[in-house]
C-alpha cells in the first residue's frame, strides 16, 4: 500500500470524519428539525471539553508564568482552526489591554487565509517552520497548535520548530491519540464525535476549539491580574461605550461619585486599574503605577490587602 493510500485510510478512521447515520435524512428535514439536530449535537461539546480541564489548568499556569516573564502565547492553525486562533488573539488586546504581541495567531497561507481559503497551505511543513522562525520563538513563549484532525502538516511542523526553540507547546485536537497530541507538552484532545454534516469540523469541533481557546486566554488573563473580582477592569477605553463602562466600574470598585470616576480615568491615561488605585489610595498617577507594578498589576492586594 502506498503512503498516500495509508494516509487516506488513517484519515477515514478519525472520529471527525465519521458519518453519523442518525442524520442521513438531514436534507429532507424542515428548517426547525435541522436546527434541533444542530443544537442537540452542540450540547455535547461542553461535556467533551470538561474531560480535559485538568490538563488545560496546567497549561494556563504555564502560559501565565511565561507571560509574566515577557513571553507570548502563539496560536498556529490552518483553515477554521487557524481562523479561530486568529480571532481569539485579536480579541485579547481590547478586552484585556495587552499588547498585540502578547497573544498572536498564525494561519497557514498568511493573513489572506483568514478571509479566503488558500488551497494546499495546510500541507506546507516548510511554511510552518518558517512562520515560527520568523517570530523568533523563545523559551518563555507558548505555542499552541490547533488542528481538528490532529494531523495537519503545517501545524505539526510549527510545534516541532517551537519545541526545538525551547518553547512550551500545546495541541488542540478533536481526535484522541493524535499525532499533534503526541508531539506537544500539553495535549488537549477533545473527541466530540461525528458531525451532523459529516466532516464539517466548523461545527462541533469548531465549537470545542473556540471554547478551549476562550477558556485558555481568559483564564490566563485572570491569573496575570487582568481582572478584579470577576470584573473586566483592564479593558482598553477606545470609544464612548467603553468609557462609560470604565467609569461605572470605578464607581462600583471604589464607591466614588461618577464625576470623580470620570476625572480620575482621564488623569490615569484611561487606565482603569491606575484610576482605581488613584481614587482608593488618594495618590497621583505615578504613585498608582508604581503600586500596581509592585503587585504584578493586580488590584486585589492594593484595594483589599490580600
> For residues 191 and 73, what is the distance between their CA atoms, to the nearest angstrom?
24
Burial group, residue 204, by CB count within 10 angstroms (0-12, 13-18, 19+): buried
Q: Could you give the residue numbers annotated as active site? A: 91, 122
Q: Which contacts of 192-196 are long-range, i.e. CB under 8 A and separated by 24 or more positions?
A: 192/15, 192/16, 192/44, 192/45, 192/48, 193/15, 193/18, 193/20, 193/44, 193/48, 194/15, 194/16, 194/18, 194/19, 194/20, 195/16, 195/20, 195/41, 196/20, 196/23, 196/26, 196/37, 196/38, 196/41
Position of cell 517551537? 162
> For residues 241 and 218, what is the distance between their CA atoms, to the nearest angstrom?
21
Q: Are 48 and 192 contacting, i.e. CB atoms less than 8 angstroms apart? A: yes
Output the nine-digit C-alpha cell for 98. Answer: 495587552
Buried b / exposed e over 259-278, threshold 16 CB at 10 Å, is: ebbbbbbebbebbbbbbbbb
Residue 20 phi, psi dihedral angles, 5° rounding: -90, 110
Q: Which contacts of 117-123 are long-range, i.e. CB under 8 A and separated by 24 or more positions?
A: 117/79, 121/78, 121/154, 122/78, 122/79, 122/152, 122/153, 122/154, 122/155, 123/153, 123/154
Amino acid at each position: 500500500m502506498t503512503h498516500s493510500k495509508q494516509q487516506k485510510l488513517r484519515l477515514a478512521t478519525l472520529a471527525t470524519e465519521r458519518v453519523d447515520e442518525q442524520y442521513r435524512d438531514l436534507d429532507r428535514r424542515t428548517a426547525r428539525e435541522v436546527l434541533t439536530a444542530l443544537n442537540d449535537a452542540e450540547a455535547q461539546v461542553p461535556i467533551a471539553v470538561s474531560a480535559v480541564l485538568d490538563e488545560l489548568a496546567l497549561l494556563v499556569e504555564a502560559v501565565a508564568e511565561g507571560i509574566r516573564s515577557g513571553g507570548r502565547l502563539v496560536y498556529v492553525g490552518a483553515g477554521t482552526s487557524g481562523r479561530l486562533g486568529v480571532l481569539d488573539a485579536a480579541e485579547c488586546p481590547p478586552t484585556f489591554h495587552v499588547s498585540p504581541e502578547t497573544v498572536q495567531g498564525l494561519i497557514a497561507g498568511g493573513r489572506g487565509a483568514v478571509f479566503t481559503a488558500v488551497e494546499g497551505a495546510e500541507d506546507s511543513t516548510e511554511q510552518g517552520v518558517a512562520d515560527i522562525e520568523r517570530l523568533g520563538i523563545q523559551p518563555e513563549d507558548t505555542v499552541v497548535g490547533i488542528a481538528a484532525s490532529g494531523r495537519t502538516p503545517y501545524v505539526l511542523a510549527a510545534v516541532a520548530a517551537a519545541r526545538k526553540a525551547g518553547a512550551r507547546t500545546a495541541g488542540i485536537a478533536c481526535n484522541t491519540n493524535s499525532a499533534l497530541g503526541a508531539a506537544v507538552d500539553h495535549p488537549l484532545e477533545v473527541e466530540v464525535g461525528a458531525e451532523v454534516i459529516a466532516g464539517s469540523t466548523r461545527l462541533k469541533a469548531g465549537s470545542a476549539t473556540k471554547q478551549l481557546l476562550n477558556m485558555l486566554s481568559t483564564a490566563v488573563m485572570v491569573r496575570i491580574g487582568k481582572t478584579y473580582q470577576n470584573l473586566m477592569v483592564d479593558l482598553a477605553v477606545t470609544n464612548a461605550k467603553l468609557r462609560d463602562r470604565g467609569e461605572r466600574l470605578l464607581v462600583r470598585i471604589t464607591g466614588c461619585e461618577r464625576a470623580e470616576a470620570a476625572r480620575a480615568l482621564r488623569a490615569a491615561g484611561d487606565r482603569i486599574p491606575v484610576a482605581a488605585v488613584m481614587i482608593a489610595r488618594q495618590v497621583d498617577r505615578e504613585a498608582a503605577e508604581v503600586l500596581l507594578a509592585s503587585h504584578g498589576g493586580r488590584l486585589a492586594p492594593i484595594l483589599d490587602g490580600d
